[in-house]
């Protein structure tokens, strides 16, 4: 393990990510970000002018990897089976590494939908791809006649929701036992793949 020396700017970004993702832009305090980075608060403004600018940077750096991961799988899957398996597998891996990311993104998106517009432009997500894949297989009579858009939303929902709703699921379903929740998450990839395939394929075993 190489001991990497973090530059001040990197320390700020790291700390700002942590605080913004946990508390949201309104709940975050510049002083807390500075404290967590172990630097003087003025340095935040020296490097990033304002809270808003710092936040924009954090949001970009958080959102882009997600968009990239999704995009990559969608582009590179030759058929619907590969797409489902690849998407769910990679997405859950990403979410397990960043469990608070979806809530952060959804929250700031709800508060300020405009902010996302540029982000969407810069990520080259191609929604027609899944429609193509689904249409092909549908023609071959292997698929039930579900609207592809609903299927896309379903797959994303099944992956993302448990992470967004962790506290409520843990409280309601797992008697506040975090280990049980983690076990649930560990089973999740295989379950979603099986569940979705079972739903959309005709004569699925």
Partner DNA sequence: AAATGATTTAACCAAATAGTTAATTTAAAT
Partner DNA sequence: ATTTAAATTAACTATTTGGTTAAATCATTT
Shortest Å distance, C-beta 97 to a second copy: 18
Q: Which of 46, 72, 93, 106 binds a second copy (CB under 8 A)?
A: 106
Question: Closest Cα partner for 74 from 95, 91, 98?
Answer: 91
Question: Closest Cα partner for 47 from 95, 92, 14?
Answer: 14
By CB under 7 A, residue 43 contacts DNA: yes
Q: Which of 60, 61, 82, 199 binds a second copy (CB under 8 A)?
A: 199
User: Would you say 57 or 148 has its CB closer to a second copy?
Assistant: 148
Ranges within 10-39 binding DNA (CB under 7 A): 28-31, 39
Interface size with a second copy, residues (CB under 8 A): 52
Q: How far is CA 179 from the centre of its chain?
A: 22
Ranges within 141-170 binding a second copy (CB under 8 A): 144, 146-147, 149-150, 152-154, 156-158, 160-162, 164-169
Alpha helices in the chain (DSSP H): 8-27, 30-37, 41-48, 51-76, 80-97, 101-111, 116-122, 128-139, 148-164, 166-173, 178-200
């Amino acid at each position: 393990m190489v001991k990497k020396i973090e530059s001040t700017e990197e320390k700020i970004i790291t700390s700002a990510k942590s605080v913004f993702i946990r508390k949201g832009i309104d709940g975050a305090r510049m002083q807390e970000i500075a404290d967590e980075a172990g630097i003087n608060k003025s340095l935040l403004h020296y490097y990033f002018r304002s809270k808003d600018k710092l936040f924009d940077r954090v949001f970009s750096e958080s959102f882009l990897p997600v968009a990239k991961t999704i995009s990559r799988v969608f582009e590179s899957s030759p058929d619907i089976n590969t797409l489902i398996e690849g998407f769910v597998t990679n997405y859950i891996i990403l979410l397990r590494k960043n469990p608070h990311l979806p809530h952060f993104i959804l929250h700031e998106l709800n508060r300020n939908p405009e902010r996302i517009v540029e982000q969407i432009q810069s990520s080259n997500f191609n929604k027609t791809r899944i429609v193509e894949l689904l249409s092909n297989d549908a023609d071959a009579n292997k698929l039930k006649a579900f609207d592809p858009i609903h299927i896309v939303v379903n797959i994303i929902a099944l992956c993302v929701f448990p992470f967004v709703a962790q506290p409520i699921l843990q409280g309601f379903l797992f008697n506040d036992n975090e280990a049980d929740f983690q076990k649930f998450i560990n089973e999740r990839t295989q379950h979603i793949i099986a569940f979705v395939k079972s739903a959309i394929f005709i004569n699925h075993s």
